[in-house]
Amino acid sequence: MSSPKYPLLFRTQPGYILRTSRANCPATKSRKHEDKMFMIELESLVSEPEYEKDFNSSNCLNDSSGYPVASSNVGKPAHLGSGTFRAVKDYFKKGEVRGSTFTLITAVLGSGTITFPYLAMNNGILGAALLIIFGAVLCHFTGMLLISCANKIGSDKYEDFAAYCFGRKMVLLTGWSNVLTLLGFVISYIVFLKNLIPHILDILFGLETLPEFIGNGEYKGQIFWATMYTFFVLLPLSIPRKIGTLQFTSVFGVFCSLYLIICITLMFFDKTIVPDMSKSIAQADYLILSWDRVANALPFVVFSFMYQPNMPIIYTELNQKSYSKMNKVVTYGTTIGVVLYITVSTFGYLGLVGDEEKLSILREKSNILEVPYPNTSFKIAIIGLVFAIFSAAPVCSIPAKDACEKILYPTSTMTPTQNFFMTIAICIGCYCAAVGIPGIGDAITIFGCTLNPLIGFILPVVFYLKVEDQVPMWKRAGCYFVLVFITCVSVSSFIFFLKQKLA
Protein backbone atom coordinates (compact mmCIF):
# COMPACT_ATOMS: atom_id res chain seq x y z
CA MET A 1 0.00 0.00 0.00
CA SER A 2 1.37 3.42 -0.93
CA SER A 3 2.25 5.95 1.72
CA PRO A 4 -0.34 8.65 2.45
CA LYS A 5 0.17 11.96 0.70
CA TYR A 6 -0.12 13.96 3.89
CA PRO A 7 1.19 13.13 7.35
CA LEU A 8 -1.28 11.27 9.51
CA LEU A 9 -3.10 13.08 12.29
CA PHE A 10 -2.15 11.90 15.75
CA ARG A 11 -4.89 11.22 18.25
CA THR A 12 -4.02 13.49 21.17
CA GLN A 13 -5.32 16.30 23.32
CA PRO A 14 -6.10 19.70 21.81
CA GLY A 15 -3.59 22.48 22.16
CA TYR A 16 -0.56 20.46 21.07
CA ILE A 17 1.95 21.01 18.30
CA LEU A 18 3.13 17.66 17.01
CA ARG A 19 6.23 17.07 14.93
CA THR A 20 6.86 13.84 13.06
CA SER A 21 9.13 12.51 10.34
CA ARG A 22 8.42 10.11 7.48
CA ALA A 23 11.84 8.57 8.03
CA ASN A 24 11.31 7.78 11.70
CA CYS A 25 7.63 6.80 12.04
CA PRO A 26 6.94 3.52 10.22
CA ALA A 27 3.33 4.41 9.39
CA THR A 28 4.31 7.61 7.60
CA LYS A 29 7.55 6.45 5.96
CA SER A 30 7.62 7.12 2.22
CA ARG A 31 8.98 4.75 -0.40
CA LYS A 32 11.95 7.01 -1.07
CA HIS A 33 12.70 7.29 2.68
CA GLU A 34 12.60 11.08 2.52
CA ASP A 35 13.59 12.75 5.76
CA LYS A 36 11.12 15.63 5.65
CA MET A 37 9.73 17.26 8.76
CA PHE A 38 6.04 18.04 9.02
CA MET A 39 4.30 20.31 11.45
CA ILE A 40 0.71 19.66 12.45
CA GLU A 41 -0.90 22.41 14.44
CA LEU A 42 -4.17 21.45 16.06
CA GLU A 43 -6.54 24.19 17.07
CA SER A 44 -7.10 24.35 20.78
CA LEU A 45 -10.69 23.69 21.81
CA VAL A 46 -10.07 24.95 25.33
CA SER A 47 -7.69 27.51 26.80
CA GLU A 48 -4.75 25.20 27.46
CA PRO A 49 -1.03 25.96 27.09
CA GLU A 50 0.61 24.76 23.90
CA TYR A 51 3.05 21.93 24.04
CA GLU A 52 5.73 20.74 21.71
CA LYS A 53 6.61 17.12 21.18
CA ASP A 54 9.41 15.60 19.17
CA PHE A 55 8.55 12.22 17.74
CA ASN A 56 11.28 9.80 16.76
CA SER A 57 11.17 6.06 16.29
CA SER A 58 10.99 5.41 20.03
CA ASN A 59 7.93 7.68 20.48
CA CYS A 60 5.80 6.51 17.53
CA LEU A 61 3.43 4.01 19.09
CA ASN A 62 0.89 2.12 17.01
CA ASP A 63 -2.57 1.21 18.18
CA SER A 64 -4.61 -1.72 16.87
CA SER A 65 -5.49 0.18 13.69
CA GLY A 66 -1.82 0.54 12.77
CA TYR A 67 -1.84 4.33 13.01
CA PRO A 68 0.71 6.09 15.19
CA VAL A 69 -0.51 7.41 18.52
CA ALA A 70 1.16 10.18 20.52
CA SER A 71 3.16 8.91 23.47
CA SER A 72 1.86 10.38 26.71
CA ASN A 73 5.18 10.66 28.50
CA VAL A 74 7.09 12.80 26.01
CA GLY A 75 7.23 16.56 25.77
CA LYS A 76 7.45 19.52 28.09
CA PRO A 77 5.35 22.66 28.34
CA ALA A 78 6.55 25.19 25.79
CA HIS A 79 5.81 28.12 28.10
CA LEU A 80 8.09 27.02 30.93
CA GLY A 81 10.93 29.35 31.84
CA SER A 82 11.34 33.04 31.31
CA GLY A 83 13.98 35.72 30.95
CA THR A 84 17.63 34.72 30.76
CA PHE A 85 17.02 31.07 31.65
CA ARG A 86 14.47 30.72 28.86
CA ALA A 87 16.83 32.41 26.38
CA VAL A 88 19.71 30.07 27.28
CA LYS A 89 17.42 27.04 27.17
CA ASP A 90 16.11 28.02 23.74
CA TYR A 91 19.62 28.73 22.44
CA PHE A 92 20.85 25.26 23.46
CA LYS A 93 17.60 23.55 22.51
CA LYS A 94 17.71 19.79 22.71
CA GLY A 95 17.77 18.17 19.28
CA GLU A 96 19.37 21.14 17.53
CA VAL A 97 23.04 21.41 16.53
CA ARG A 98 23.90 23.87 19.31
CA GLY A 99 22.18 21.86 22.02
CA SER A 100 23.69 18.56 20.86
CA THR A 101 27.13 20.16 20.60
CA PHE A 102 26.85 21.38 24.19
CA THR A 103 25.80 17.88 25.28
CA LEU A 104 28.88 16.46 23.58
CA ILE A 105 31.11 19.05 25.25
CA THR A 106 29.77 17.95 28.66
CA ALA A 107 30.94 14.43 27.76
CA VAL A 108 34.38 15.65 26.60
CA LEU A 109 35.41 18.12 29.32
CA GLY A 110 36.61 16.36 32.43
CA SER A 111 39.79 14.65 33.53
CA GLY A 112 41.90 16.26 30.80
CA THR A 113 41.43 19.62 32.50
CA ILE A 114 43.50 18.50 35.48
CA THR A 115 45.90 15.99 33.86
CA PHE A 116 46.92 17.51 30.51
CA PRO A 117 49.46 19.95 32.06
CA TYR A 118 51.22 16.73 33.14
CA LEU A 119 51.23 15.62 29.48
CA ALA A 120 52.79 18.93 28.41
CA MET A 121 55.50 18.54 31.05
CA ASN A 122 56.27 14.97 29.96
CA ASN A 123 56.01 15.37 26.18
CA GLY A 124 56.57 19.07 25.60
CA ILE A 125 53.98 21.69 24.68
CA LEU A 126 53.89 20.77 20.99
CA GLY A 127 54.04 17.05 21.77
CA ALA A 128 51.04 17.30 24.11
CA ALA A 129 49.09 19.32 21.52
CA LEU A 130 49.80 16.70 18.82
CA LEU A 131 48.72 13.88 21.14
CA ILE A 132 45.49 15.70 22.02
CA ILE A 133 44.68 16.35 18.34
CA PHE A 134 45.55 12.77 17.36
CA GLY A 135 43.36 11.34 20.13
CA ALA A 136 40.49 13.63 19.14
CA VAL A 137 40.71 12.53 15.49
CA LEU A 138 40.61 8.85 16.48
CA CYS A 139 37.63 9.45 18.78
CA HIS A 140 35.81 11.38 16.04
CA PHE A 141 36.45 8.55 13.56
CA THR A 142 35.27 5.72 15.82
CA GLY A 143 32.33 7.76 17.09
CA MET A 144 31.02 8.28 13.56
CA LEU A 145 31.37 4.52 12.97
CA LEU A 146 28.83 4.08 15.76
CA ILE A 147 26.50 6.56 14.05
CA SER A 148 26.61 4.40 10.92
CA CYS A 149 25.72 1.38 13.09
CA ALA A 150 22.87 3.29 14.75
CA ASN A 151 21.51 4.22 11.31
CA LYS A 152 21.62 0.63 10.13
CA ILE A 153 20.36 -1.11 13.27
CA GLY A 154 17.97 1.57 14.54
CA SER A 155 19.19 1.60 18.14
CA ASP A 156 21.45 3.68 20.36
CA LYS A 157 22.68 0.86 22.63
CA TYR A 158 25.92 -1.10 22.44
CA GLU A 159 24.11 -4.26 23.53
CA ASP A 160 21.75 -4.02 20.55
CA PHE A 161 24.72 -3.59 18.22
CA ALA A 162 26.31 -6.70 19.74
CA ALA A 163 23.08 -8.72 19.45
CA TYR A 164 22.63 -7.70 15.80
CA CYS A 165 26.21 -8.58 14.90
CA PHE A 166 27.12 -11.61 17.01
CA GLY A 167 24.27 -12.80 19.24
CA ARG A 168 23.75 -13.36 22.96
CA LYS A 169 27.33 -14.18 23.97
CA MET A 170 28.64 -10.91 22.56
CA VAL A 171 25.80 -9.09 24.33
CA LEU A 172 27.07 -10.43 27.67
CA LEU A 173 30.66 -9.43 26.88
CA THR A 174 29.60 -5.96 25.75
CA GLY A 175 27.24 -5.52 28.71
CA TRP A 176 29.82 -6.41 31.34
CA SER A 177 32.43 -4.26 29.57
CA ASN A 178 30.02 -1.33 29.76
CA VAL A 179 29.39 -1.99 33.45
CA LEU A 180 33.10 -2.13 34.27
CA THR A 181 33.80 1.00 32.22
CA LEU A 182 31.13 2.95 34.11
CA LEU A 183 32.40 1.64 37.43
CA GLY A 184 35.91 2.64 36.35
CA PHE A 185 34.73 6.24 36.26
CA VAL A 186 33.17 5.85 39.73
CA ILE A 187 36.43 4.41 41.08
CA SER A 188 38.35 7.31 39.53
CA TYR A 189 36.00 9.79 41.23
CA ILE A 190 36.59 8.17 44.63
CA VAL A 191 40.38 8.13 44.10
CA PHE A 192 40.27 11.76 43.03
CA LEU A 193 38.30 12.88 46.08
CA LYS A 194 40.25 10.87 48.65
CA ASN A 195 43.39 12.74 47.53
CA LEU A 196 41.87 16.15 46.93
CA ILE A 197 39.80 16.66 50.10
CA PRO A 198 42.85 16.47 52.43
CA HIS A 199 44.62 18.86 50.05
CA ILE A 200 41.73 21.34 50.33
CA LEU A 201 41.74 21.05 54.13
CA ASP A 202 45.47 21.73 54.07
CA ILE A 203 44.86 24.87 51.98
CA LEU A 204 42.09 26.12 54.26
CA PHE A 205 43.36 25.15 57.72
CA GLY A 206 46.88 23.71 57.41
CA LEU A 207 47.74 20.06 58.04
CA GLU A 208 49.31 20.83 61.42
CA THR A 209 45.90 21.88 62.79
CA LEU A 210 44.07 18.78 61.51
CA PRO A 211 43.69 15.44 63.29
CA GLU A 212 45.87 12.76 61.69
CA PHE A 213 42.95 10.54 60.67
CA ILE A 214 41.53 13.20 58.30
CA GLY A 215 44.88 14.47 57.02
CA ASN A 216 46.81 13.49 53.90
CA GLY A 217 48.10 10.14 55.14
CA GLU A 218 47.81 7.34 52.59
CA TYR A 219 46.48 4.81 55.09
CA LYS A 220 44.52 7.16 57.34
CA GLY A 221 43.20 10.37 55.84
CA GLN A 222 42.67 9.01 52.33
CA ILE A 223 40.88 5.88 53.54
CA PHE A 224 38.75 7.99 55.87
CA TRP A 225 37.58 10.30 53.06
CA ALA A 226 37.08 7.41 50.63
CA THR A 227 34.88 5.73 53.25
CA MET A 228 32.92 8.88 54.05
CA TYR A 229 32.25 9.71 50.41
CA THR A 230 31.41 6.16 49.28
CA PHE A 231 29.01 5.18 52.05
CA PHE A 232 27.55 8.54 53.11
CA VAL A 233 27.31 10.34 49.75
CA LEU A 234 27.63 7.91 46.84
CA LEU A 235 25.51 5.11 48.33
CA PRO A 236 22.40 7.22 49.15
CA LEU A 237 22.57 9.04 45.80
CA SER A 238 22.90 5.74 43.89
CA ILE A 239 19.87 3.98 45.38
CA PRO A 240 17.23 5.76 43.20
CA ARG A 241 16.52 4.21 39.79
CA LYS A 242 16.45 7.51 37.89
CA ILE A 243 19.01 10.30 37.62
CA GLY A 244 16.99 13.40 38.37
CA THR A 245 20.02 15.72 38.62
CA LEU A 246 21.87 14.54 35.52
CA GLN A 247 21.37 17.75 33.56
CA PHE A 248 22.31 20.00 36.49
CA THR A 249 25.46 18.07 37.43
CA SER A 250 26.66 17.93 33.83
CA VAL A 251 26.23 21.68 33.30
CA PHE A 252 27.74 22.50 36.69
CA GLY A 253 30.75 20.28 35.94
CA VAL A 254 31.29 21.96 32.57
CA PHE A 255 31.25 25.44 34.09
CA CYS A 256 33.63 24.34 36.86
CA SER A 257 36.02 22.98 34.22
CA LEU A 258 35.78 26.20 32.18
CA TYR A 259 36.40 28.28 35.30
CA LEU A 260 39.47 26.17 36.11
CA ILE A 261 40.84 26.60 32.57
CA ILE A 262 40.39 30.37 32.81
CA CYS A 263 42.11 30.44 36.22
CA ILE A 264 45.10 28.41 35.02
CA THR A 265 45.44 30.59 31.91
CA LEU A 266 45.25 33.88 33.81
CA MET A 267 47.67 32.71 36.50
CA PHE A 268 50.41 32.52 33.86
CA PHE A 269 50.02 36.28 33.40
CA ASP A 270 50.13 36.93 37.17
CA LYS A 271 53.53 38.41 38.05
CA THR A 272 53.34 37.08 41.61
CA ILE A 273 53.16 33.50 40.27
CA VAL A 274 55.21 33.79 37.06
CA PRO A 275 57.67 36.69 37.54
CA ASP A 276 59.24 36.38 34.07
CA MET A 277 56.94 35.06 31.33
CA SER A 278 59.55 35.31 28.58
CA LYS A 279 61.98 33.25 30.64
CA SER A 280 59.35 30.54 31.22
CA ILE A 281 58.58 30.40 27.50
CA ALA A 282 62.29 30.14 26.67
CA GLN A 283 63.00 27.39 29.23
CA ALA A 284 59.96 25.24 28.41
CA ASP A 285 60.24 21.93 26.54
CA TYR A 286 58.31 21.88 23.28
CA LEU A 287 58.82 18.39 21.87
CA ILE A 288 60.17 15.32 23.66
CA LEU A 289 60.31 12.23 21.44
CA SER A 290 60.13 9.04 23.49
CA TRP A 291 57.94 5.96 23.00
CA ASP A 292 57.72 5.43 26.77
CA ARG A 293 56.40 8.96 27.26
CA VAL A 294 53.89 8.54 24.42
CA ALA A 295 52.74 5.21 25.86
CA ASN A 296 52.37 6.88 29.25
CA ALA A 297 50.37 9.78 27.77
CA LEU A 298 47.88 8.02 25.49
CA PRO A 299 45.77 6.43 28.29
CA PHE A 300 45.17 9.97 29.61
CA VAL A 301 44.03 11.09 26.13
CA VAL A 302 41.79 8.03 25.67
CA PHE A 303 40.23 8.51 29.12
CA SER A 304 39.58 12.21 28.47
CA PHE A 305 37.97 11.80 25.03
CA MET A 306 35.80 8.84 26.05
CA TYR A 307 32.56 10.12 24.49
CA GLN A 308 31.81 7.35 21.98
CA PRO A 309 29.08 5.64 24.07
CA ASN A 310 27.24 8.98 24.24
CA MET A 311 27.19 9.57 20.49
CA PRO A 312 24.37 7.20 19.42
CA ILE A 313 22.22 8.66 22.21
CA ILE A 314 22.93 12.23 21.09
CA TYR A 315 22.19 11.20 17.51
CA THR A 316 18.75 9.80 18.36
CA GLU A 317 17.87 13.12 20.04
CA LEU A 318 18.45 15.15 16.86
CA ASN A 319 15.25 16.57 15.39
CA GLN A 320 16.48 15.89 11.86
CA LYS A 321 18.72 12.86 11.89
CA SER A 322 21.42 12.72 9.25
CA TYR A 323 25.01 11.56 9.15
CA SER A 324 26.21 14.98 7.96
CA LYS A 325 24.39 16.84 10.74
CA MET A 326 25.80 14.54 13.41
CA ASN A 327 29.25 14.89 11.85
CA LYS A 328 28.88 18.66 12.25
CA VAL A 329 27.93 18.23 15.93
CA VAL A 330 30.91 15.96 16.61
CA THR A 331 33.31 18.21 14.71
CA TYR A 332 32.20 21.33 16.61
CA GLY A 333 32.21 19.62 20.02
CA THR A 334 35.55 17.88 19.50
CA THR A 335 37.21 21.04 18.17
CA ILE A 336 36.08 23.07 21.18
CA GLY A 337 37.34 20.32 23.48
CA VAL A 338 40.71 20.23 21.70
CA VAL A 339 41.14 24.02 21.93
CA LEU A 340 40.31 24.04 25.65
CA TYR A 341 42.55 21.06 26.41
CA ILE A 342 45.52 22.50 24.50
CA THR A 343 45.00 25.80 26.32
CA VAL A 344 45.03 24.25 29.79
CA SER A 345 47.96 21.93 28.99
CA THR A 346 50.06 24.79 27.60
CA PHE A 347 49.45 27.43 30.26
CA GLY A 348 49.29 24.88 33.08
CA TYR A 349 52.81 23.73 32.23
CA LEU A 350 54.24 27.16 31.36
CA GLY A 351 53.09 28.50 34.73
CA LEU A 352 55.30 25.92 36.49
CA VAL A 353 58.44 26.15 34.34
CA GLY A 354 61.42 27.08 36.51
CA ASP A 355 59.73 26.02 39.77
CA GLU A 356 61.18 22.55 40.39
CA GLU A 357 59.21 22.00 43.58
CA LYS A 358 55.85 22.46 41.86
CA LEU A 359 56.97 20.50 38.78
CA SER A 360 57.95 17.57 41.02
CA ILE A 361 54.48 17.62 42.61
CA LEU A 362 52.84 17.59 39.16
CA ARG A 363 55.18 14.77 38.08
CA GLU A 364 54.28 12.71 41.15
CA LYS A 365 50.53 13.41 41.33
CA SER A 366 49.71 13.84 37.57
CA ASN A 367 47.11 16.33 38.80
CA ILE A 368 47.54 20.10 38.63
CA LEU A 369 44.92 20.63 41.35
CA GLU A 370 47.39 19.31 43.94
CA VAL A 371 49.99 21.93 43.00
CA PRO A 372 50.00 24.56 45.81
CA TYR A 373 49.20 27.75 43.90
CA PRO A 374 48.92 30.87 46.15
CA ASN A 375 45.81 32.04 44.31
CA THR A 376 42.31 32.43 45.75
CA SER A 377 40.52 31.92 42.43
CA PHE A 378 42.35 28.62 41.93
CA LYS A 379 41.29 27.45 45.40
CA ILE A 380 37.67 28.30 44.57
CA ALA A 381 37.98 26.26 41.36
CA ILE A 382 39.21 23.24 43.34
CA ILE A 383 36.31 23.44 45.80
CA GLY A 384 33.81 23.83 42.95
CA LEU A 385 35.14 20.72 41.20
CA VAL A 386 34.86 18.72 44.41
CA PHE A 387 31.17 19.59 44.78
CA ALA A 388 30.60 18.82 41.09
CA ILE A 389 32.15 15.37 41.49
CA PHE A 390 30.14 14.72 44.67
CA SER A 391 26.99 14.47 42.56
CA ALA A 392 28.64 13.30 39.33
CA ALA A 393 29.60 9.77 40.41
CA PRO A 394 25.95 8.58 40.67
CA VAL A 395 25.57 9.59 37.01
CA CYS A 396 27.84 6.59 36.32
CA SER A 397 26.82 4.23 39.13
CA ILE A 398 23.08 4.30 38.35
CA PRO A 399 23.51 3.42 34.63
CA ALA A 400 25.96 0.68 35.70
CA LYS A 401 23.27 -0.72 37.98
CA ASP A 402 20.74 -0.59 35.15
CA ALA A 403 23.16 -2.44 32.87
CA CYS A 404 23.62 -5.12 35.55
CA GLU A 405 19.86 -5.47 35.77
CA LYS A 406 19.56 -6.08 32.02
CA ILE A 407 22.21 -8.79 32.22
CA LEU A 408 21.09 -10.52 35.42
CA TYR A 409 17.32 -9.99 35.05
CA PRO A 410 16.70 -9.93 31.28
CA THR A 411 12.96 -10.68 31.55
CA SER A 412 12.09 -8.73 34.70
CA THR A 413 13.11 -5.78 36.85
CA MET A 414 14.81 -5.68 40.22
CA THR A 415 12.69 -5.45 43.34
CA PRO A 416 13.44 -2.59 45.77
CA THR A 417 15.33 -5.06 47.98
CA GLN A 418 17.41 -6.35 45.06
CA ASN A 419 18.07 -2.77 43.97
CA PHE A 420 19.29 -1.86 47.47
CA PHE A 421 21.69 -4.79 47.74
CA MET A 422 22.90 -4.28 44.16
CA THR A 423 23.73 -0.66 45.03
CA ILE A 424 25.60 -1.74 48.16
CA ALA A 425 27.57 -4.34 46.18
CA ILE A 426 28.56 -1.76 43.55
CA CYS A 427 29.66 0.77 46.18
CA ILE A 428 31.68 -1.82 48.13
CA GLY A 429 33.40 -3.04 44.96
CA CYS A 430 34.29 0.49 43.85
CA TYR A 431 35.46 1.38 47.36
CA CYS A 432 37.81 -1.61 47.61
CA ALA A 433 39.33 -0.84 44.21
CA ALA A 434 39.69 2.88 44.99
CA VAL A 435 41.44 2.24 48.31
CA GLY A 436 44.07 0.16 46.50
CA ILE A 437 44.79 2.82 43.82
CA PRO A 438 47.12 5.57 45.11
CA GLY A 439 46.30 8.49 42.79
CA ILE A 440 44.13 9.73 39.94
CA GLY A 441 46.99 9.26 37.46
CA ASP A 442 47.13 5.55 38.29
CA ALA A 443 43.36 5.17 37.96
CA ILE A 444 43.29 6.92 34.58
CA THR A 445 46.20 4.82 33.30
CA ILE A 446 44.65 1.52 34.40
CA PHE A 447 41.25 2.18 32.82
CA GLY A 448 42.66 4.21 29.93
CA CYS A 449 44.65 1.26 28.62
CA THR A 450 42.20 -1.58 29.40
CA LEU A 451 38.42 -1.04 29.38
CA ASN A 452 38.19 2.36 27.70
CA PRO A 453 40.03 1.32 24.50
CA LEU A 454 37.74 -1.71 24.23
CA ILE A 455 34.51 0.29 24.55
CA GLY A 456 35.66 3.44 22.78
CA PHE A 457 37.71 2.09 19.89
CA ILE A 458 37.80 -1.69 19.39
CA LEU A 459 34.08 -2.49 19.66
CA PRO A 460 32.95 0.40 17.39
CA VAL A 461 35.33 -0.81 14.67
CA VAL A 462 34.22 -4.44 15.06
CA PHE A 463 30.52 -3.50 14.98
CA TYR A 464 30.95 -1.28 11.92
CA LEU A 465 32.87 -3.86 9.88
CA LYS A 466 30.20 -6.44 10.71
CA VAL A 467 27.20 -4.19 10.01
CA GLU A 468 28.30 -2.54 6.76
CA ASP A 469 28.45 -4.75 3.69
CA GLN A 470 30.29 -2.27 1.49
CA VAL A 471 32.98 -0.31 3.31
CA PRO A 472 35.06 2.29 1.41
CA MET A 473 38.71 1.33 1.10
CA TRP A 474 39.94 4.37 3.05
CA LYS A 475 37.54 3.71 5.90
CA ARG A 476 38.41 0.00 6.04
CA ALA A 477 42.11 0.93 6.20
CA GLY A 478 41.31 3.41 8.99
CA CYS A 479 39.43 0.72 10.92
CA TYR A 480 42.32 -1.73 10.77
CA PHE A 481 44.78 1.02 11.73
CA VAL A 482 42.69 1.86 14.81
CA LEU A 483 42.49 -1.82 15.81
CA VAL A 484 46.23 -2.43 15.49
CA PHE A 485 47.38 0.91 16.91
CA ILE A 486 45.05 0.98 19.92
CA THR A 487 45.82 -2.65 20.79
CA CYS A 488 49.59 -2.12 20.60
CA VAL A 489 49.52 1.15 22.54
CA SER A 490 47.21 -0.23 25.24
CA VAL A 491 49.42 -3.27 25.82
CA SER A 492 52.59 -1.14 25.79
CA SER A 493 51.07 1.41 28.18
CA PHE A 494 49.99 -1.26 30.64
CA ILE A 495 53.42 -2.94 30.57
CA PHE A 496 55.12 0.45 31.04
CA PHE A 497 52.79 1.22 33.96
CA LEU A 498 53.56 -2.12 35.66
CA LYS A 499 57.30 -1.59 35.21
CA GLN A 500 57.04 1.82 36.87
CA LYS A 501 55.11 0.44 39.83
CA LEU A 502 57.31 -2.61 40.32
CA ALA A 503 60.59 -0.70 39.95
Question: In the chain, what are the domain boundaries?
Answer: 16-80, 95-502
DSSP state of 468: -
- Is 50 exceeded by the pLDDT of residue 82? no
pTM: 0.75
pLDDT of 271:
86
Residues of the chain with pLDDT > 70: what percent? 78
CA gap 226, 228 in Å, rounded: 6
SS3 18: strand
Predicted local confidence at residue 85, as pLDDT: 43
Rounded to 5°, angle at Cα 186 from 432 and 446 = 75
User: Is the pLDDT score of 483 beyond 60?
Assistant: yes
What HEC string does 25-77 produce?
Answer: CHHHCCCCCCCCEEEEECCCCCCCCCEEEECCCCCEEECCCCCEEECCCCCEE
- Residues 6 or more apart whose Cβ sits within 8 Å of residue 236: none
Please tell me which residue, 7 or 196, carries the higher pLDDT value. Answer: 196
Report the length, in residues, of the chain. Answer: 503
pLDDT confidence tier of residue 420, bands split at 50, 70 and 90:
very high
CA dihedral 399, 403, 409, 415 (to 10 degrees): -10
The pLDDT value given to residue 112: 82
Average pLDDT of the residues of the chain: 78
Q: 95-502, superfamily in CATH?
A: Amino acid/polyamine transporter I (1.20.1740.10)
Question: What is the mean pLDDT of the segment spanning 75-82?
Answer: 39
**pLDDT tens-place string over residues 220-244:** 778 899 999 999 988 988 888 765 5
User: For residues 8 and 419, which has the higher predicted lDDT (pLDDT)?
Assistant: 419
- Report residue 45 CA to chain centroid gap: 45
- pLDDT value at 143 more than 50: yes
